[in-house]
Structure formats: C-alpha cells, structure tokens
Structure 1
Amino acid sequence: MAPSRNVLVIGGGAAGNALTILLRRAGVAVDLVEARQDWNATAGSGITLQGNALRVLRDLGVWDRIDASGYGFGSVGITAPDGTVLHVQDDLRTGGDDLPATVGMRRPRLQQILIEAVRASGATVRLGTTATIVEQDDTGVTVRLSDDGREARYDLVVAADGLGSATRAAIGITDRPEPTGMAIWRVAAPRPAGVTRTDLAYGGPAYIAGYCPTGEDTLYAYVVEANRDRAAIPPESYADEMVRLASAYGGHWPEITKTITDPAQVNYTWFDRMLVEGSWHRGRVVLIGDAAHCCPPTLAQGAAMSLEDAAVLAELLTGGDAWDDALLSAYYERRIGRVRAVVEASVQLGQWQLDGVRDADVPGLMARTMSQLQERP
C-alpha cells in the first residue's frame, strides 16, 4: 500500500482507538482527534467483554493488561428476585478456547489501556478538538480542525464519534438513536466474595437486576427499568433511587446495596437502538462503532461490535486494495449481517420485558445469537 496514505479518526473511544492502533501498526499515518480534553472521562462503571471482544483486544496487543485488570468467568446465572438461582448457562467462548468466555472490568481502566496503546503507536493525538468536513472528492477529504482553525487533507476520514455523531449528520446520513423504552442504573461497588459470574434477576420492581465482577474486589451492579424523564430525576437522588429499586432483590443484593451511598457514582442512562442501513460511508468518510449502530446492553455486545468494526476496516484498508467505494462497501457487507443480528436480539430481549412476555426463551435467544459470533467477523 502507498506509504503516504493518511487517515483522520474522529473520536477516541474503543472503536477509534482500536482502528488507530491497527492502522499505525501497518504504517499508516493517523491523526486522532477527541472532543473532550479529558480523554478518559468515561461514563459508566463497568463493562462486560465477551470472547469476540477479547479476540480483538488480543490482536491489538493489550490482552495481557486486560487479563491482569479484569475478572474472567464462564457462565451467567438467571435468578428469581429473591436470589434463588433458576438456571446457570455456560457462556460460549466466542473468542476461541484460548481466551476466557467473559471478562468484566472497570470501563475507565479499559479506556486507559487503549489510550496508552494509541500513544505508543505514534499516532498524532489532539484533545479538545473537533473536525468539520469542508469538502471531499474521489481522492480525499478536506477538514477544518477546531483547535487551531487550520485545514488539513486526508485520504480517509473515519467517524468514530459515537451515538450523537456530528460527522454522521454532516455527510447526510439521517439515522439517529431511538429510545427503546428502558433505562439503566449503574454503579461500581465492592464485590461480595460469592459473586464469581454475572447473575441476572428478571421481575420484581425492575425489569432486570444484575451484576458483573470486574476485579478481585470490585463489581458493577445495574438495575433496568422503564425509562423516565431525565429532567425529573435530580442527580443528588441517584443513589437513593437505585437503592430503592435494588432493595427488593435478594441473594447478594443486600450486601451490594449497603455500599450505594454516593449519588455521584451512580450513572443513569436510557437504552437506545440504531442501525444505519444501506451503507456506512459517503465518499471518503466512513462510520464505525456507535456512530453506525447501537443497541441495549442486554447481550453485552456493544463494545465487541465496535471493536470488530475497527478490526475489519483495518484489515481491508491495509490489504493492498484501492481505498475506494468498493472497499468501503465491502466493509459494510462484512459487518451488517452480524451487527443486525446483535442489535435485533438485544432489542428483543428488552421488548419481551416491556411486553410482559412470561414464557420468552431468553437463554435460547442469547445462545443462538452468541453462537453466530464464534466465527471471526
């Protein structure tokens, strides 16, 4: 491939960071711009990474640090609200037998590991900076960077700027995230000694109450309910609201709820869904990650799909073919079926709860969807 090719990556989350690392490894010049000055101001208390996500992280060269920072496990429990275990299902090793089925970890720690790998790659990083597309043609894209107002020319611009992607709108893709009707309360907490896997309780005052171990001494806990008007929930009440919902659950929940005291540590977020159909690019500007698709975390596959996007796009861009419409269309075709299956299943799992379906085959849908992810994307 031509050594003079250069790429602008807009957004320094999981997808943008992963793509930057992979392109730099292949010798592509990459500028990464991130709108936040604090690159690791990462919302959310924890993240569940299944094998197909771990496979990409290993390809990035960061698996040892992920392994040392998280908590690996291999099953999920379905419980009654009182904590009675109704079913334990082994997780599929979607990344292969040489990786754990699942690793839980603190989300800010994952971001820090990726940040360090981006900096080590030699990419140019500009924080507190946004990029505006000025014009593009068959050979590249001209953008204006907000930190100094200068214009720069790139062979390709990658929009990794998340759910509310300004770049997506700027290139005329009108899809926007839509609420599914659910919302989630999340908090980091000390891990009771008996918590060694994810457990999910369905029913009770919330639709789902669950937790995931994130380290030797930590977990993140979450409670899913119907979404509420965000403006009607004062932030200083977040801890009280989460405790009110979680207090109805048994098992390990009483020990967890005792530690939920600081409202600043509780995160409240609506579930959204979006899937851009048709193509994920316009000219030389292409979407990856949450800028192209998002779904509820009911399958814990959001980050995995973003990381896979980066891996597939990097493979195509560094494969020696021309950077043209055919290549970017091939990227979309490689990704759309797999991503659609995850988005639709993730939404369906929540919709069953919203509709009060009592005999829904939750374990079956989870297993069928995850089985499709065992093959490399």
Structure 2
Amino acid sequence: MSTPRTVLVIGGGAAGNAATILLRRAGITVDLVEADDDWNATAGSGITLQGNALRVLRELGVWEQVEQSGYGFDAVGITAPDGTVLHVAEDLRTGGDDLPATVGMRRPQLQRILSDAVRAGGATVRLGVRAESLDQSADGDGVTVGFSDGTESRYDLVIAADGMGSTTRAAIGIPDRPEPTGMAVWRVAAPRPAGVTRTDLAYGGPAHIAGYCPTSESTLYAYVVEAGRDRASIPADSYADEMRALAQHYGGRHWPEITANITDPAQVNYTRFDRMLVEGSWHRGRVVLVGDAAHCCPPTLAQGAALSLEDAWVLAQLLAATGTWDGALLQAYYERRVARVRPVVEASVQLGQWQLDGVRDADVPGLMVRTMSMLRELP
C-alpha cells in the first residue's frame, strides 16, 4: 500500500490549526476548510492557557509570539466575595519548569498567531467552505469529500476539528452530543487594573464563581459563573447590564474598576457549560475527531484548549511516524488520549457540580492538584 500523504482538516480553531501546522512540518499535504469566511473573527474575550497548552504551542513554533502577546503568571488567589484574600497558591507548571504555569491572552490574538502559522506552513486554506459529504465506500483507503462550493477531492485522512457542534461527528455516525452541566458563564474583556498580576477567584455571593485573568499589560478578561439560563431568553442588548448586575456584588481592590468597565453588550458573551466524552473510538474509517469534536468540559480547570492542542500533537506524531494509516493506528490515538482526557472532563464537571449542590466541605484543592499533577506528564 502506498504511503498516505494527503489530509483534510475540517475546522480552523486551535485543534485544527495545530494539526495542520504539525502535519505540514512532516511533509504531508494538508487542505484546511473553515466554515467561517472571516477566520480571525473568533468570538470570546480571553483564554487561560495552562502550561501543558504552552508546551504544545512551543512545539508549534509560536511560543515566543504567545509569550509576547499574553500575560504569564504562576499563582492563583482565592478570595471571599468582598475581596478578602483567603489563600494564594502557586500553580503547577504543567508544561515544565521552563514555561510559566499559566498565560492569559486575548482569544482572537491566539487565533491570529495560529492562523498565520498555518499559512506560513504552506497548507491550502479555504474559508467560507464546508465539507458536505464524506464517501468512504469505494475501498476504505481514503475519503472522497464534497464541498459546499461544488468541488470534490479525495484524501487519505480527514481530521474533524469542527468543535462541540461537529457536523462531521454526526455525519460519520457518532451520536454523542454535548450536554449542559447546569452552569453558564458571562465573560468580558476589560482594561487591566495595575495590581492584577494573577487570576483571582471568588466563590459564593450571587454567582457561583467570579474571577478575572490578565491577558496583557493593559487588558484582562473577567467572568461570572451562574446557574444556566436559556440564552434565547436574554436580549443581547442587555448582556452588559446582566453581567454588571452580578459583578457589582464582588469587592476588593479590583472588582469595582472592572465592573465599571462592563458597559458594552457587544463585548460581553454568555456561554453555557457543556460536557461530552466520545467513548469507544474517535474515528470511523479514515475520519477522526480531535478537540471539542471528541470531548468538551466546563472551564473550571481551564483545560479545554490544552486538551485540544494535545490531541493534535499526539495525532500528528502518530501519523508522521508511519506510512500505515489504519484503524489500529487511529484506535491507538484514542486509547492514548482518552486515558488522559477522561479524568480532566470528570474533574471539571465535579468542580462545577459541587458548586451547584452547595457542598461546603468538598476537597476542591485536592482534586485540582491531583488532576493538574497528572498533566505534567507528556501526553
């Protein structure tokens, strides 16, 4: 059998971009299609990147740009709703001692860095294009893909990186869908008060969690977690008012200034917390899932992007190491990843459930340390 060397990546988010960069570096021909015709118009105010995410970003060759664009720190503060600092913990450096424990940055900035690297690597990128049909019936050694622009191409492998709502996942017969956990989060980008040099989290008050994360020398993103509501019932032009009404109950040195800057509803986003973990395998034939298409969890451990980047890294390593791309290889990818992903999904959900249930004596620090310690190992 000839060595497969053509790949289609569906989805231009973190996982899809990472897979494309790494496969191109290995000399594999890659086409990437992204349904959005404005690749860099990524929604979201900010992102928290733990060390294991930074480790993959370094492998992608973009760590220096991330370091310059974001804000690195090594501690997290736990506060009361009035701002009283109860505890400051040193974060584990899950990416190794030569990387910060955490970097906060603007999500659109990370997307620009990754998309620029994709183009620099020589992949063919088509925006505003969807994969509408996947035909594996011919010989099982490839996939013929029909696209929304009327074109058709054959690939040796298709990587589905099209997110939680993946249409590819459904198209290949995997029935799993994200399920709400009962929580949702308000997020906003805002100016960074000079004294904000780490993430601080307040538990309790009118919301379950209120926190903020520096994203540059001049910016941060703030978030307030509440019981989930029907997003359709909340008028978009009231988003700033809704978030400000919750945030104003949190005090201390920085929350009043942050709250005063929650004024533009267009800068506020509201997202429910979902969970999903596809079991058994993440592939059907020559189509394989990565990132949120295969698993998602609440951001209570800030591991969503990190796990997605790790998926891409592991899959690219396996594909580059052999010319035999078959079910056994893709099953090995699943088994290697699910053993690492499952405890993170379960811990992330458990941390939120304790909040929903009002459990006062939950071992939150212990669960977080145990889970994050596991992530220091290479994926």
**TM-score above 0.5:** yes
Residue by residue, what CA displacement relative to the aligned partner does 1:45-87 show, whole Å, maximum 9, x if unpaired?
A: 0000010000000000000000000000001111100001111
Deviation at 1:128, TM superposition (A): 0.2
Deviation at 1:2, TM superposition (A): 6.2
Give 2:142's match in structure 1, choosing from 126, 140, 143. 140
| Superposed counterparts of 1:175-254, under 5 Å | 175-251=176-252, 252-254=254-256
Residue 276 of structure 2 is aligned to residue 274 of structure 1: yes
Question: Using the alignment, how far apart are the partners of 1:169 and 1:86 within structure 2?
Answer: 46
Partner residue, 2:79: 79
Residue 134 of structure 2 is aligned to residue 166 of structure 1: no
Question: Using the alignment, how far apart are the partners of 2:145 and 2:3 within structure 1?
Answer: 21
Question: Using the alignment, how far apart are the partners of 2:325 and 2:40 within structure 1?
Answer: 32
Question: Using the alignment, how far apart are the partners of 2:162 and 2:169 within structure 1?
Answer: 9
Question: Using the alignment, how far apart are the partners of 2:94 and 2:183 within structure 1?
Answer: 27
Question: Using the alignment, how far apart are the partners of 1:266 and 1:355 within structure 2?
Answer: 27
Partner SS state of residue 96, structure 2: coil
Residue by residue, what CA displacement relative to the aligned partner does 1:166-205 show, whole Å, maximum 9, x if unpaired?
A: 0000000000000000000000000111111000000000
| Superposed counterparts of 1:39-50, under 5 Å | 39-50=39-50
Residue 129 of structure 2 is aligned to residue 129 of structure 1: yes
Residue by residue, what CA displacement relative to the aligned partner does 1:101-157 show, whole Å, maximum 9, x if unpaired?
A: 10000000000000000000000000000012341142100110112x122100000
The list of structure 1 runs, each at least 4 consecutive aligned residues, that deviate by more than 2 angstroms after superposition, is: 1-4
Residue 312 of structure 2 is aligned to residue 310 of structure 1: yes
Give 2:362's match in structure 1, choosing from 337, 360, 370. 360
Partner SS state of residue 299, structure 2: coil
Partner residue, 1:94: 94
Deviation at 1:369, TM superposition (A): 0.3
Residue 120 of structure 2 is aligned to residue 120 of structure 1: yes
Give identity over the alignment, percent. 81
Question: Using the alignment, how far apart are the partners of 1:14 and 1:346 within structure 2?
Answer: 20
Residue by residue, what CA displacement relative to the aligned partner does 1:233-264 show, whole Å, maximum 9, x if unpaired?
A: 10111001100000000111101001110011
Deviation at 1:41, TM superposition (A): 1.8
Contiguous gaps of at least 5 residues in structure 1: none
Aligned partners of 1:3 and 1:27 also within 8 Å: no
TM-score (norm 2): 0.98
Contiguous gaps of at least 5 residues in structure 2: none
Aligned partners of 1:4 and 1:29 also within 8 Å: no
TM-score (norm 1): 0.98
Mark the CA change 1:181 to 1:25 in structure 2 (over 3 Å): closer, same or farther: same
User: Which amino acid is the alignment partner of residue 153 of structure 2?
Assistant: A
Give 2:257's match in structure 1, choosing from 252, 255, 268. 255
Residue by residue, what CA displacement relative to the aligned partner does 1:295-329 show, whole Å, maximum 9, x if unpaired?
A: 00000000000000000000000002510001000
Question: Using the alignment, how far apart are the partners of 2:50 and 2:344 within structure 1?
Answer: 13
| Superposed counterparts of 1:53-68, under 5 Å | 53-68=53-68
Aligned partners of 2:4 and 2:325 also within 8 Å: no
